[in-house]
Structure 1
Amino acid sequence: MSEPFTSGSEDPPTLIRRIRDRASTENWDVVVALTDLPLHADGHTVVVDVQRGHGLALLSLPSLGGLRLPTKARQAVEEVVLGLVDPEAGGDEENRRRRPLPAPLAGRIVPIHPHPAGDEDAADLRYVVGGRRGRLRVLGGMVRANRPWRLVPGLSKALAAALATGAVATVNSTVWSLAEALSTPRLVIATAGSLATMIGWLIVDAQLWHRPSKSSPEARQRARLYNASTIVTVGIGVLVCYVGLMVINFVWALFILNDRVFASMTRSPLDATDYVTLAWFVASVATVGGALGSGLESDEAIRAAAYSKREQDRRRRLRSDHGD
């Protein structure tokens, strides 16, 4: 069953209470809820919250990382269910808190470890992910949920502007001379600058930057995580577009450039290195043109390309709740 979470229920205790109420209404014995929300509590990133007394658990999918997610999710759900139906897991509350879940969840799936749940929490057993490696896994899981490869076809007008810019620049003799004179470090700087321009323009123009709704440390941590996932998502999509532009410009140059004309303008013979250098430089110029062309896209089109459907709905509810 699928049920959207509102923007105000992103904390584990609230989610656990909603799951418990739903389980009671449906008369379910065991419930495992999966969410693509990154969950935080007491300064830690939550992997799974378990309430053995009611036979329910809440599992955050981004904490499992972005690679082999279906396999990891199946393993995690299996171990959680085995822990919930284990006859030895019964007894008093203290015994349930001390008894860990099976080993695969605690070590081989992701680098997680048990952590005591606070008195105000609805869970009696919690596993969290820690360290830099764990935070990178959570970020990878969020980026995977956004599906950054969808950004390429979603920016049709920006790509059209970039292709037009690249086609014109490839036949410009001034561009030939500039590409011939540029060193590799300068080309790398041009690449970084053009990519940063495109990424920054998309984020600012489509209002993709997430601002915390509260001043609490957890809200700020959540905002940093969302913004990092946005930057990586948009960055991957823009990088794919850049490589595609470079390949197209290289093929275009092979058909268009003339050896004698090029040599007369640049005073150097045309060789394979010149084709690569020109395609590389033109891709940077075209990416800046694509950034300007992205202004022709609607904000909703860019959000649809940058975020998953659930993330779009969640952010739409956030804007509606805060009157933005």
Structure 2
Amino acid sequence: MIVGVVADPGFSTRLAQILTDRLPELLAACPVDRPGEIEVESVARPLPPATDGSPALDEWFDVLHHRFDLVMVVSEMPRRLASRAVVAEIFRDRMCVFYTPSFGVLGTARRLLRTVADALPRLVGADRSEPTPTGTRWTTDADGVERLVSTSPLGRVRLVAGMVRGNRPWRLIPALSGAFGAASAASAFGVFYASIWQMAASMSVTRLTLVTLAVLVAISTWLIVPNGLWERRNFRSTRADRVLYNSATLGTVVAGAVCMYGLLLLAVMLAAVVVVPDDYLAEQLGTPTTLATYVKLAWLAASLGIAAGAVGSTASDRTEILRATYGRREVERRQAADREKDAET
């Protein structure tokens, strides 16, 4: 029996490799007679969605079932059944699709393996030996399609968090190198000017936090609006899908902005400790210098740097910013699939 593990390029490929390594063990645990040896083959292949954004299961099955006896698809696409997140879906008794965003952020490989162990008996006609993962249940629609859906109140939150994880927000940082350089230059004023020191020392943690939130909103808006990351009605028809995808985009951009802000804060903190002697700082402020003094100084300087330098600067790679959205990567998967189809013909 040949089992194919097929995955979208990206984060899903990493999970698919883990599944490929463990699949023989999981198959051996299914109490059913299988003539011959089990061969597991891993394939990275773009799996484009249908035009409405839903998984194109018929198309995927037509392309894959000729090569394998069983097909295990690890997809980064989000899948919903009404308001419930779909974790896995069995199609035509030979293909099972696992939707990685539904696994959330932490323990994704563990959740995937548990779900595979629960789905395999349904695929091979064996008695179930594993309990259904907590917070999920199997449903069967009128066409006989079996789906494992989330029943947890946090299922939708986990789905959005998983989409943010799939977007890999840290990839925004290289694309924002120009913004980071501008913010660093602007933050230098906070390190060298005594008026900024005095202002930082007099500000409360609450006020500094509000300033941070304001600059994060500013840079997130600067990334989303000019780059057209917000999906509108003409791109995705249903309001629920737009809310889902835009929530993931917002979470990705905010996470990327927080990463850049954190790096800038550490850089400014190091510069302040190295450049500004503590006795001179204490003399200017009229109070003893502590670590908290340097933290507040760096905190305000980094916030001013983001507001004065980063917002409005030019991103070095707009393509990487666009790839922070699921809509853009859907278009890229369709284009890659078309190229593969043309190459095969």
Match of 1:58 among 69, 91, 97: 97
Confirm or deny: 8 A CA contact 1:205 1:299 kept in the other structure: no
Amino acid in structure 1 at the alignment position of 2:330: R
Per the TM alignment, residue 292 of structure 1 is displaced from its structure 2 partner at its CA by 2.2
Matched, 1:112 2:140: no
Structure-to-structure mapping, 1:33-112, within 5 angstroms: 33-51=73-91, 54-86=93-125, 103-104=130-131, 106-108=132-134, 111-112=135-136
Unpaired runs of 5+ residues, structure 2, are 1-42, 336-345
Per the TM alignment, residue 37 of structure 1 is displaced from its structure 2 partner at its CA by 0.7
Q: TM-score, normalised by structure 2?
A: 0.74
Confirm or deny: 8 A CA contact 1:176 1:278 kept in the other structure: yes
Cα separation, 2, equivalents of 1:55 and 1:290: 55
User: As a proportion of its length, which structure holds more helix?
Assistant: 1
Per the TM alignment, residue 318 of structure 1 is displaced from its structure 2 partner at its CA by 9.1
Structure-to-structure mapping, 1:1-324, within 5 angstroms: 1=43, 2-6=45-49, 8=51, 10-12=53-55, 15-23=56-64, 26=66, 28-51=68-91, 54-86=93-125, 103-104=130-131, 106-108=132-134, 111-117=135-141, 119=142, 122-213=143-234, 219-258=238-277, 262=281, 265-292=284-311, 294-304=313-323, 306=324, 312-315=328-331
Distance 1:32 1:317, change over 3 A: closer
Cα separation, 2, equivalents of 1:123 and 1:16: 14
Confirm or deny: 8 A CA contact 2:48 2:334 kept in the other structure: no
**What do you get for the CA RMSD once the two structures are aligned?**
2.9
Amino acid in structure 2 at the alignment position of 1:59: F
Per the TM alignment, residue 127 of structure 1 is displaced from its structure 2 partner at its CA by 1.8
Per the TM alignment, residue 166 of structure 1 is displaced from its structure 2 partner at its CA by 0.9
Distance 1:23 1:9, change over 3 A: farther
Distance 1:259 1:34, change over 3 A: closer
Q: TM-score, normalised by structure 1?
A: 0.78
Confirm or deny: 8 A CA contact 2:87 2:149 kept in the other structure: yes
Identical amino acids, percent of aligned pairs: 28
Cα separation, 2, equivalents of 1:157 and 1:131: 42
Task: Report the 3-state secondary structure (helix = DSSP H, G, I; strand = E; otherwise coil) of the residue aligned with 1:228.
Answer: helix
Confirm or deny: 8 A CA contact 1:7 1:314 kept in the other structure: no
